[in-house]
Structure 1
Amino acid sequence: MASLSDRLDHLLGVKAAEPLAADFDITTVEDLLRHYPHRYATQGAELGDTRPPEGAHITMVATVVKADVVSFKSRSGKMLRTVLSSDTQRVEATFFNPHKVAHAIKPGVRAMFSGTAKYFREQLQLTHPSYLILPTGDGEPTVGGRVRGSGELAGMARSTQGADSGIDMEIFDRELIPIYPSTRDVETWTIARCVRQVLDQLDVVPDPLPEATRRELDLIDLDEALRLVHQPESKRDVDRARERLRFDEALALQLVLAQRRHAVDERVAPSCPPHADGLAAAFDAELPFTLTDGQLAVAEEISADLSRPHPMNRLLQGEVGSGKTIVALRAMLQVIDSGRQCALLAPTEVLAAQHARSMRKMLGSLATAGELGAAEHATRIALLTGSMTVGQKRAALNETLVGDAGIVIGTHALIQDNVEFFDLGMIVVDEQHRFGVEQRDALRGRARDGSSPHVLVMTATPIPRTIAMTVLGDLETSTLRELPRGRSPIVSNVVSASEKPAWVDRAWARICEEVAEGRQAYVVCSRIGDGDDEGDGDPGDLDLDDFFTAGTGSEQVAQPKKAKAPGKAKAKKQGEAPQTAAAVAVYEQLQVGPLSSVRVGLLHGRLPSDEKDAVMAAFNAGDIDVLVCTTVVEVGVDVPNATVMVILDADRFGVSQLHQLRGRVGRGAHQGLCILITASRPESPPHRRLTAVAGTNDGFELAQLDLAQRREGDVLGVAQSGTTTTLRLLSLLDHEDVIETARSLAHRVVAEDPGLANHPGLASMVTAGLDAEGVRYLEKS
């Protein structure tokens, strides 16, 4: 008999086990049994009740009831047109090259078919599906003396040859036939055979969930779930098995997060209660505006956290322009009043410099400690970025080390080993999703005497509740939904460059009109195009003539080359990269084209630091009317006079990124306008996505849309951790109730037994539900 921890090479033999280890890292019985089927072939009863969506990959078992070789109507050649009977459902299947398949696909033949679902006049169709001939009533599955198969199912047919066929043909008598994630070398039927051998030898699997919990949640036991998910007799078996295994995944995640939250609560942090006559109070007294009710409520939550002798671990999320920065600044001043320092980690040099400028401006004389005329409780703000000169870095490092700088703002440069703080009491991470978990964790060890600094992470990308309960489940969450008083919602429009070229011209004209009224604009591009871009200069690049004509209105401007028809992109040859507009080319052509009458500037990430600072300072001061840029302005840039943003190749950006970008306009007294220009067709999915973005300013609604489109993989941050997600059945989009239930149970258990010493089964569930890398990733995040 076998247990979950047994090695497969001992049970199945080296020849069978080695390919599983090589292709899927499956080495133990548990690894194999948690390689669940991703779909099931059926005898057709399910298809009679539920129509598969257009484009879905379906696998079904059916009998051929009609097969005719017919000629194509519009061209030479013939095809085999068949009708398949799958219980209550009839499916039309068409095969090309009929001379190769007609001898196998004929009336009376029973086979497994696999292909992409299509509909014509409401009739379900398959075009040239893969097939595997199955036994008929006499048990004979062969055609011409051997089993026949094609396409992705040909491997099943091959594996039936010889004495050790590898396929138990009796499995096709089952109502549901498991289809596994597979590779060319490890086909689904190889996996099915190995699973069958293992289950035949498997002892009863001990259940880590207490029986009372299973009864309370109406879950089957683990042994039954593992057997039913691989060998179900009905759809209900599949549902019950997945329900249990899905809950295990959710609970494993929540146990890790609950333990981590408990560990944070056990650490010691500097208590930083508010001071009635300190720097924070002086700042509040000089504020020229009134904070919103939401800002005041969140500020109270953060202030209470900072007053505790345990580290704050809070997420501050809010709409673009909702005032997160000033809430964070007030919290930092409270920490400085207690004699501690604060570090603000920003993802880009542009944003770091913007934070330094805006905070110095907001604090005024309160940020000029050591200078003539400084306020009584003044501090200093230091800026540290990678591209600063040696002298600038040395000065910033010294202010940080001796404690003169109460607020140290920087990029990844803050994480370097040579950065030492006098007494770090709080870390603020802006746009937390831009940092890897190791990077965010690096600052936590910089506090004095083994204490832990308070941590506030901020994001203007609203996070769906299911994500907050999982990846960020160890954080307390504060949310700002209310925009500052007087702020108007941004108007967004989608412009199809190919369908409405005149509208593209109108976009440039609108910018000129806004500038004439004394306002400013952004033009955002998806890449730099300075010669260092991958593929820069190849035929896939988009000429800017594709986005505007030679002039605005009736005025024509001389072009450096002959302009093409409005909105018509150059033909893209097969295999070439998608056409995109580059910021450098846009800048050059706008200057002599439709924006020749205004002052145009260029900003991108590869400019030297001092040049970037100079460009942003000029734009802030109003010396630049239109800023052509990349996504370096995506977060934190605050120029209230900017009212229009044109985003070229808008379909190249993600939902959250578009929402962030357009939040750069309309931050003052005037209405903001965002124009999303795309080469995609109106009926295409990218165009529909842009229309959805334009249709709402609700970042939380867009976050759900983003999650629905991207699913869980990259939202979980696996790209940052360098691992793949271990969630097999749990969907952060679809299973909020499961996650909520698991979270509640995990918190109850960990509150009573933090180390799970009295719950060895639950401790083992953590390692079973998540691989070791996943656990380490979550512990750092």
Structure 2
Amino acid sequence: MLEKGEKLSMLGEKTAKSFARQLGITTTGELLQHYPRRYLKRGELTRIADLPVGEIATVVGEIVSVSARFIKGRGGHILEATISDGSSLLSLAFFGQAWRKEELTKGRRGFFSGKVGSFSGKLQLAHPDYELFDEITPEEAKAWAELPIPVYPATSTLPSWRIETSIRQVLGQSVIKEVIPNEILSKRNLIGLSAAIHRIHQPQKDSDYEQAIASLKFHEALLLQLSLIERRNSFAEERAAILNDAGMAMEFEKHLDFEFTDSQQRVNQEIEQDLASGKPMHRLLQGEVGSGKTVVALRAIMLAAAKNLQSVLLAPTEVLAEQHFESIRTALGEDLTRQLGLRLLTGSLGALDRKKTELDLASGKCLLAVGTHALFSERIQFADLALVVIDEQHRFGVMQREAIKQKGKAAPHVLTMTATPIPRTIAITAFGDLEISTLRELPRGRQPIETHVVKITSPALVSRVWQRVAEEVAKGRQAFVVCPRISGKEYEEGSTGASEVAPAAAEEVFDSLKKNPALAGLRVGLMHGRLDYEQKQAVMASFAAGEIDVLVSTTVIEVGVNIPNATAMIVLDADRFGISQLHQLRGRIGRGQHSGICLLLSASEEDSLAAQRLTALANSTDGFELSELDLELRGEGDVLGENQAGTKSQLRLLKVTRDGELIEQARELAKELLSQELPESLKHGMKLMLLGELASA
């Protein structure tokens, strides 16, 4: 079992708690990997009389007075000092640092650097950086003024200067072990881990932190690729069921009312080869919204069923599981549905149905189960699980994915599907332990979709939106209206401030549209995740039958809904959604013989990140291009461990969207290194990387 590095106790209990609470940092390794986000220069030495307010400046002066006083309102002390350089006076202020009075004594000289402010009509530096001296040459003064100042990601109560002080203390008491052999680094003009950690935090010149960043990126890239490729190699040592009977798969194909695209045929062959190899398949199937991933997965399931072996299809939400269940039942037809004993298992399933499903799985009567995390339950036992299909892998944690794999007698084959296309450098980083299949070709008959951003600050434009919906319905077509929330009450309970504007709520929009004159006479429906299974099915059946003209919904229709007659989508408060999610939502229209129109309503400022996202979506229908932009905007995620939400990643400096060439080089080197005995230092580094503790002392 891997263990975390040394705790931050050396900094004192109060400081350690502050780091844990404010930044989630609990160990020395995590602290040393809290890298500066940029560097400042103290600037040229400036006379106090010439100091510009608002600028960062450095002065040389002599302390002429020092005083400390208690501030009632803030419950602490303020230390004030005044310095002079002969041209004028400058005030220095230190809050809660009365202890500095011991060194900031009258008559001492030094450098003082910080952002120039004004308080009570006097120039002031608050919490300046400083260095005291007795005598100093002009050359030494110039060198100190040019020293880069690290600026750290900080909070209001844990400022950058305090983080810098803590890191300096940890570095002074730490010995950082090297993990990559020097002969590998020297060939690339890179430095070791210890030198890189010291230089990124305490650079003497710009080239110090530049070389440190390059070296640390290489460490991250190589150790990550070593871990992923080693995990991939370990799969090859396992044994799995040989699934080489294509009889049921051929029967399934004949039942379909369409032909597979060339892309689907190619992927079918790749999967067939994997399943017949006797080694567990670990394949990622990526493709655009509507590219036909589910039907490819179903064909693979037929190969397992032909051997009387079981498969499961895992969906991240109950709504998606229910939609998959219905679409699979339709695709299979009555005979194949009965042969497979198709069952649905979700957390809200009734006790009797759950018991029957559990018995059917344990006895082998059920050859295909569709469900959610409920399938991870210890109560669920399989007679012989051979294939696991996971939809939208990034929504499942690593531990959950491993739990379902443990349900099989032998290692099951695993097929992961994602409708968020992944560029190659991202794929080999995030999913480097998987083989990758790509469906770029959309099924024949998919129509183009126009996308426009509509500013809700223009009432005339908003009115035109609803007129446009009415026009589509008048042509005999249907529309979706998507909202970020179900109800206003849901917003009020989670609101953080009275100044926030409440996002559109489906229940309220539903009531509003029924009274909207532009939609007079139109049949408006409501769909959201709080409806029970039967209610959802009834609403979707009515919409599919053309009995509802406009369906107001939350993102429950994001994946798996197929209404060929739906040609319009209105997304309210579109700036509250991510690019990939909007791209998936947009994929619900234009699935029949008519083109689609998607209108994104937003109040976002012109130059905001939200506006950039929406503009990018309006200008492109390329899911690969959009997913790369989405990744850049929302974070890299944790590619080795549990967390995949774009927050505290093991990748501190490496950016998979920008460092593609470095990742490719690291991957080739990792393959070469793993073809022979790996040095112990690299094995140790891989463990530290997995923990997010590369700099662990």
TM range (shorter): 0.7 to 0.9
- The CA deviation string for residues 25-55 of structure 1, in whole angstroms up to 9 with x for no partner, is 87877566444433322244xxxxxxxxxxx
Aligned with 1:388 (options 349, 365, 381): 349
Name the structure 1 match of 2:674: 750
- In terms of mean alpha carbon deviation, does 604-613 or 409-418 score higher? 409-418
2:38 maps to: 39
CA distance in 2, matches of 1:596, 1:19: 58
| Equivalent position of 1:240 in the other structure | 211
Conservation of the 8 A alpha-carbon contact between 1:723 and 1:773: no
1:491 pairs with 2:466? no
Distance 1:185 1:62 in 2: 30
Q: Is the 8 A contact 1:314 1:475 kept in 2?
A: yes
Secondary structure at the aligned position of 1:446 is classed as coil
Q: 1:242 to 1:595 in 2, by over 3 A?
A: same
Name 1:546's counterpart in structure 2.
Answer: none
Deviation at 1:142, TM superposition (A): 8.6
Name the SS for the 2:367 alignment partner: strand
Q: Who is 1:649 aligned against? A: 573
Match of residue 533 from structure 2: 609
Amino acid paired to 1:229: I
Percent of aligned pairs with the same amino acid? 45
CA distance in 2, matches of 1:494, 1:15: 49
The match for 1:254 is 225
Residue of structure 1 equivalent to 2:147: 175
**DSSP-derived class of the 2:519 partner:** coil
1:341 partner amino acid: Q
Equivalent position SS for 1:41: strand
CA contact (8 A) 2:685 2:694 kept: no
1:263 aligns with 2:234: yes
Task: Say if 1:475 and 1:23 are closer, same or farther in 2 by CA, change over 3 A.
Answer: same
CA distance in 1, matches of 2:494, 2:117: 47
For residues 141 and 149 of structure 1, what CA distance do their matches in structure 2 show? 19
Which residue identity does 2:688 align to in structure 1? A
Equivalent in 420, 428, 435 of residue 476 of structure 1: 435
Distance 1:109 1:430, change over 3 A: farther
Offset of residue 413 of structure 1: 2.2
Instruction: Name the CA shift for 1:535/1:251 in 2 (closer, same or farther; >3 Å).
Output: same
Equivalent residues, number: 648
2:402 to 434, 438, 441: 441
- The residue aligned with 2:653 is 729
1:582 lines up with 2:502 in the alignment: no
Preserved CA contact (<8 Å) 2:33 2:693: no
Instruction: Give the whole-Å Cα distance in 2 for the aligned partners of 1:736 and 1:362.
Output: 40
Cα 1:680/1:339, change in 2 over 3 Å? same
Q: CA deviation at 1:242?
A: 1.5
Distance 1:341 1:660 in 2: 30
Alpha-carbon shift at residue 13 of structure 1 (Å): 8.7
The equivalent of 2:196 in structure 1 is 225
In 2, Cα distance between equivalents of 1:489 and 1:15 = 59
Q: Which residue of 1 aligns with 2:327?
A: 358
Distance in 1, matches of 2:89 and 2:222, equals 43
1:291, CA displacement in angstroms? 1.4
Query: Contact conserved, 2:33 with 2:694, CA < 8 A, in 1?
Result: no
Among 506, 514, 517, which residue is 2:464 paired with? 506
Residue 126 of structure 2 corresponds to residue 154 of structure 1: yes
CA distance in 2: counterparts of 1:237 and 1:491, whole angstroms: 50
Distance 1:537 1:219, change over 3 A: closer
1:527 equivalent in structure 2: 485
Equivalent position amino acid for 1:619 in 2: F
Deviation at 1:456, TM superposition (A): 0.8
> Residues 291 and 233 (structure 1 numbering): CA distance in 2 closer, same or farther, change over 3 Å?
same
Q: Alpha carbons of 1:262 and 1:691: their partners in 2 closer, same or farther (altered >3 Å)? A: same
8 Å contact 1:64–1:82 — kept in the other structure? no
Contact 1:345 1:430 (8 Å CA) reproduced: yes
User: 2:476 aligns to what?
Assistant: 518
Q: 1:760 aligns with which of 675, 680, 689?
A: 680
Q: Supply the AA of the counterpart residue of 2:303.
A: Q
Q: Deviations over 1:531-557 (max 9, x none)?
A: 4x140699x9xxxxxxxxxxxxxxxxx
Superposed displacement of residue 316, structure 1: 0.7
AA at the equivalent of 1:659: H
1:534-588 Cα distance to aligned partner (Å, 9 max, x none): 40699x9xxxxxxxxxxxxxxxxxxxxxxxxxxxxxxxxx842222221011111
Alpha-carbon offset, residue 752 of structure 1: 3.0
Q: How far off its partner does 1:359 sit?
A: 1.9
Aligned match for 2:602, one of 663, 678, 698 = 678
Deviation at 1:763, TM superposition (A): 1.4
Asked if 1:637 corresponds to 2:557, the answer is no
CA contact (8 A) 1:526 1:648 kept: yes
Q: Residue type matched to 1:512 in 2? A: A
Say if 2:445 and 2:591, in contact at 8 Å, map to a contact too: no
Give the direction of change, closer, same or farther, for the CA distance of 1:62–1:590 in structure 2 (3 Å limit).
farther
Match of 1:699 in 2: 623
The one-letter code sitting in structure 1 at the alignment partner of 2:460 is: A
> Conserved in 2, the CA contact under 8 Å of 1:298 and 1:478?
yes
CA contact (8 A) 1:718 1:725 kept: no
Q: 1:38 to 1:18 in 2, by over 3 A?
A: same
Moved more, 730-739 or 643-652: 730-739
Q: Please give the per-residue CA displacement for 1:728-776, whole angstroms capped at 9, x wherever unaligned.
A: 22222322222222222223323434xx4xx11101212333426999x
Tell me, in whole angstroms, the C-alpha distance in 1 between the residues paired with 2:343 and 2:694: 36
1:689 to 613, 628, 634: 613
Describe the shift of the 1:22–1:282 C-alpha distance in structure 2 as closer, same or farther (beyond 3 A).
Answer: closer
Measure how far apart 1:696 and its partner are.
0.8
Report the RMSD for the aligned CA atoms in angstroms.
4.2
SS of residue in 1 equivalent to 2:451: strand
Cα offset, 1:18, TM superposition: 8.5
Change (3 A) 1:102 1:517: farther
Which AA in structure 2 matches 1:423?
D
Distance 2:573 2:411 in 1: 44
> CA 1:106 to 1:720, structure 2 compared with 1: closer, same or farther past 3 Å?
same
Counting only pairs closer than 5 Å after superposition, residues 278-297 of structure 1 correspond to structure 2 as 278-297=247-266
Change in Cα spacing, 1:265 to 1:169, as seen in structure 2 (3 Å) is farther
Residues 584 and 719 (structure 1), Cα distance of their counterparts in 2 relative to 1, 3 Å cut: farther
Inter-partner Cα distance in structure 1 for 2:607 and 2:145: 44
* Structure 1 residues 766 and 243: alpha-carbon distance in aligned structure 2, compared to 1, 3 A threshold: same
Structure 1 position 396, deviation (Å):
2.7
After superposition, what is the alpha-carbon deviation per residue over 1:82-108, rounded to whole angstroms, capped at 9, x for unaligned? Answer: 887899xxxxxxxxxxxxx99879996
Once the two structures are TM-superposed, the CA of residue 266 in structure 1 deviates from its matched residue by: 1.5
Q: Are 2:285 and 1:324 aligned?
A: no
Distance between the aligned counterparts of 2:503 and 2:641, measured in 1? 27
Which one has more relative contact order, counting CA pairs under 8 Å at least 6 apart? 2
SS at match of 2:370: strand
Which ranges of structure 2 fall in alignment gaps of 5 or more residues?
A: 60-79, 93-102, 134-139
Aligned CA distance change for structure 1 residues 365 and 83 (closer, same or farther; 3 Å): closer
Structure 1: distance between partners of 2:585 and 2:445: 20
TM-score by length of 2: 0.82
* Conserved? CA contact 2:562–2:591, under 8 Å: yes
Residue 541 of structure 2: SS of its match in structure 1? helix
What secondary structure does 1:767 align onto? helix
For residues 765 and 537 of structure 1, the distance between their equivalents in structure 2, rounded to whole angstroms, comes to: 42
Inter-partner Cα distance in structure 1 for 2:629 and 2:501: 24
Aligned mates of 1:670, 1:270 — CA distance in 2:
44
- Normalised to the residue count of structure 1, the TM-score between the two structures is 0.74
CA spacing shift, 1:773–1:623, aligned 2, 3 Å: farther
* 1:752 alignment partner, SS class: coil
How far apart in 1 are the matches of 2:552 and 2:511? 10
